[in-house]
Amino acid sequence: MKRKKIVAGNWKMNMTHDESINLIKELKEISSNYVDIKIAPSFTNLNKAVSLLGSSGIEVIAQNVHFEERGAFTGEISIEMLTSVGVNSVIIGHSERRKYFNENEFILSKKTKMAIDNSVNIIFCVGEELSEREKGDHFELIKNQIISGLFGLDIEQIKNVVVAYEPVWAIGTGKTAENYQIQEMHEYIRKLFNDKYGSDISQQIRILYGGSVKPKNAEEIFSLKDVDGGLIGGASLNFSDFNAIVQAANG
């Protein structure tokens, strides 16, 4: 089965309102029949991004969501707030949310359920730190993250999930993941889905790579058998870099 590639730009805590508008106007020039293109601006820029990109084919997604519908959670964003401005996909479990905001598997599984129950698609992030890889615990760690975060979903619900593998040890550290390490982990993740949901689901589910994808390495990474695109950080803040990565995904 040929799975359609995804290139998703995670803007993180970058881009003012005016900077976002300027970049979005450039991004509207990008088009592809072979790649699903997504961007995740800050919460303050979601509404404007949706209105600017409405007919472009580029989907606006959110970087995070709270696990409760509403209430006394100062500073948080609910699923209802996202869908009310036209956002229907969300990133859950990003390595930075896990590391800096102490989001554990219990919290992430609640966020997953909240999104799925409200018909919102998910990019669910998994990944290991350097210490965990050096100890040889990386496969077991990824397995536990996926089981606790996603395997409570039924076979229909899991179709609304994309997985993103982030080797945290290869992001901004000077270390790089070798292609065989990337493919090895993506293949392992796909087998987990095969064992749980069967071959049809495992061949449908798209698994993105989120380890410092850049124009110079994108084509090589995207050519790996079980890599279905990328969750792009810094390179998504620059039009020419992001466009080059999209074109690399075109194959």
Give the CA angle between residues 129, 131, 135 to the nearest 5°: 120
End-to-end CA distance of the chain: 15
Catalytic residue among 59, 96, 103, 166: 166
Give φ, ψ of 223 to 5 degrees: -80, -10
**Rounded Cα distance, 93 and 111, in Å:** 9
Amino acid at 138: H
Parallel, antiparallel, or unpaired for β 161-165 and 5-10?
A: unpaired
Give φ, ψ of 194 to 5 degrees: -65, -45
94 has catalytic annotation: yes
**Rounded Cα distance, 141 and 27, in Å:** 36
Give the pair of three-digit tokens for residue 226: 């079980």
Catalytic residue among 94, 96, 128, 186: 94
**Rounded Cα distance, 65 and 117, in Å:** 13
Number of residues in the chain: 251
Could you give the strand order of the β-sheet that contains 207-209, starting from the edge strand earlier in sequence? 59-60, 35-40, 5-10, 229-232, 207-209, 161-165, 121-126, 89-92
Contact 38, 58 (CB under 8 A): yes
Which residue, 15, 53, 74, 56, is CA-closest to 237? 15
Active site residues: 94, 166
